[in-house]
């Protein structure tokens, strides 16, 4: 609507040109596309332009969800977004008391953010352990000089590396070095560990196979009674990559520039800009309207695929073996094997989906004399059903 109004104002302001220009062509193309899109949608609103909900201040009484939360995979604790890194590190450090080898491996992969450096360091440590395992009788492989250039450049810079060497059985020892006046520091493998070389091989495999410990997104699953407010989402600032103040400023700038931009944007340009907008969201809040009108709500990463949404819904169903479909607000079927991520499907920063049983399978079930459960969701979920407000 803003684009169409801007075009009208522009035509009133500009004198009539003698012949069509490239700008005239673009303007005409925009006008045609606006009209065609409005006709298809049955609405004066320009398709492909999601209205961005303004993030609400923390503490608002009607937020659709209080924020974005995570679960620590080591402790099971629920964490706020701003707590996750610090609490994950605390959990790893506390793990040293019970399993120092596993804790040091987690520290190497989690505390160090540069993945390439971690891979290079881990591969180098694995070669050290391989040499000992393959040549247990050769003393030179049991000693690692800490001032060695390779050790300094690839291993010494990694948090957790020293803890790993000590946990698997190395001890720091000062040893004389040929042609050097003073002794230097080495890691030397203890005799007890040397007698059990298979333990080094096991620790090496653990080190190579490990992944960073990351907090898992908490879906915050909730179930609501049927409500006319199903499509209304008041989201907290956690759902936006920009702060609330930055979003307000950006909206003011867009309002000031709408006349200039609308004059030059064709449909392809608008779609490209919309994709840039969608990438601003890290999370999305989805609601699924079930056949009985109840609503199932959960939080997802904007870059997750539809399979994650289908899995989330399936876990909540009483008849989880029956195939079903999820439809977007315009009736578009969202396939479970859809290769697009949620933000590319336009499902950010929030969306209402519609649940539907697979019609063909439902007819087969009825033909066999059976009926799907009248209660779609599992009883434990229905027992905690809420009113959407």
Q: For residue 239, what pLDDT is reported?
A: 84
Higher pLDDT: 203 or 193? It is: 203
CA 262 from centre of chain = 33
Highest mean pLDDT among 32-41, 129-138, 204-213: 204-213
Higher pLDDT: 371 or 215? It is: 215
Distance CA 248, CA 261 (A): 19
Kindly state the DSSP code that residue 214 receives in the 8-state scheme: -
Is 187:174 a contact under the CB 8 Å cutoff?
Answer: no
Residue in the block written with tokens 């007890």: 192
Distance CA 167, CA 106 (A): 13
Per residue in 99-113, pLDDT tens?
999 999 999 999 999
Q: For residue 108, what pLDDT is reported?
A: 98
How sure is the predictor about 52, in pLDDT bands with cuts at 50, 70 and 90? very low
Does residue 45 register a pLDDT over 50? no
| Number of residues assigned to the chain | 389
Q: For residue 17, what pLDDT is reported?
A: 47
The 10 Å CB-count burial string (b at 16+, else e) for 288-313 is: bbbeeebbbbbbbbbebbbebbbebb
Per residue in 270-320, pLDDT tens?
565 555 555 678 899 999 999 999 999 999 999 999 999 999 999 999 988
Neighbours of 135 (CB within 10 A): 12
Cβ neighbours for 381, distance < 8 A, ≥ 6 positions apart: 221, 223, 296, 316
Helix, strand, coil share (%) of the chain residues, nearest 5: 45, 15, 40
Does residue 146 register a pLDDT over 80? yes
Does residue 189 register a pLDDT over 90? yes
Higher pLDDT: 52 or 55? It is: 55
How sure is the predictor about 26, in pLDDT bands with cuts at 50, 70 and 90? low
How sure is the predictor about 343, in pLDDT bands with cuts at 50, 70 and 90? confident
Higher pLDDT: 84 or 362? It is: 84
Looking at the chain, the whole-number percentage of residues with pLDDT higher than 90 is: 56
- Report, as an integer, the average pLDDT of 337-363: 88
Does residue 84 register a pLDDT over 80? yes
- The structure's pTM equals 0.71
Helices (H), the chain: 2-13, 22-41, 84-94, 100-111, 115-134, 149-154, 161-167, 191-194, 197-209, 244-264, 267-278, 306-316, 359-367, 379-382
Does residue 324 sit in helix, strand or coil?
Answer: strand
The 10 Å CB-count burial string (b at 16+, else e) for 36-68 is: ebbeeeeeeebbeeeebbebbeeeeeebbbebb
Does residue 231 sit in helix, strand or coil?
Answer: coil
Distance CA 279, CA 303 (A): 9
Is 268:79 a contact under the CB 8 Å cutoff?
Answer: no
Residue in the block written with tokens 């701003």: 82
- Report, as an integer, the average pLDDT of 218-233: 95
Q: For residue 51, what pLDDT is reported?
A: 41
Q: For residue 106, what pLDDT is reported?
A: 98
Q: Is the peptide bond before 349 cis (omega within 30 degrees of 0)?
A: yes
């Amino acid at each position: 609507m803003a684009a169409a109004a801007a075009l009208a104002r522009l035509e009133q302001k500009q004198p009539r040109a003698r012949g069509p220009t490239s700008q005239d062509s673009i303007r005409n193309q925009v006008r045609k596309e606006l009209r065609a899109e409005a006709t298809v949608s049955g609405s004066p609103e320009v398709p492909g332009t999601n209205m961005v909900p303004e993030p609400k201040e923390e503490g608002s009484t009607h937020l659709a969800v209080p924020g974005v939360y995570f679960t620590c995979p080591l402790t099971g604790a629920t964490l706020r977004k701003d707590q996750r890194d610090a609490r994950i590190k605390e959990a790893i450090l506390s793990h040293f008391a019970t399993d120092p080898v596993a804790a040091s491996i987690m520290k190497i992969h989690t505390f160090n953010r540069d993945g390439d450096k971690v891979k290079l360091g881990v591969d180098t440590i694995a070669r050290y352990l391989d040499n000992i395992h393959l040549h247990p009788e050769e003393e030179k492989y049991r000693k690692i000089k800490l001032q060695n250039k390779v050790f300094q450049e690839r291993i010494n810079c990694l948090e957790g590396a020293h803890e790993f060497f000590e946990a698997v059985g190395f001890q720091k020892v000062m040893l004389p070095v040929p042609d050097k006046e003073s002794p230097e520091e080495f890691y030397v493998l203890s005799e007890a560990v040397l007698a059990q070389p298979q333990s080094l091989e096991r620790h090496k495999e653990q080190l190579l196979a490990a992944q960073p410990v990351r907090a898992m997104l908490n879906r915050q699953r909730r179930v609501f009674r049927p409500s006319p407010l199903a499509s209304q989402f008041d989201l907290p600032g956690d759902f936006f990559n920009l702060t609330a103040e930055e979003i307000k400023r950006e909206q003011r700038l867009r309002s000031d520039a709408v006349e200039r931009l609308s004059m030059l944007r064709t449909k392809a340009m608008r779609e490209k800009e919309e994709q840039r907008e969608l990438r601003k969201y890290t999370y999305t809040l989805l609601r699924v309207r079930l056949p009985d009108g109840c609503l199932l709500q959960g939080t997802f990463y904007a870059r997750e695929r539809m399979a994650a949404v289908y899995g989330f819904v399936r876990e909540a169903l009483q008849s989880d073996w029956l195939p079903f479909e999820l439809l977007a607000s315009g009736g578009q079927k969202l396939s479970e094997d859809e290769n697009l991520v949620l933000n590319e499907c336009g499902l950010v920063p929030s969306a209402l989906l519609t649940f539907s049983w697979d019609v063909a399978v439902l007819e087969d079930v009825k033909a066999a004399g059976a009926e799907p459960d009248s209660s779609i969701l599992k009883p434990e979920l229905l027992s905690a059903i809420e009113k959407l407000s």
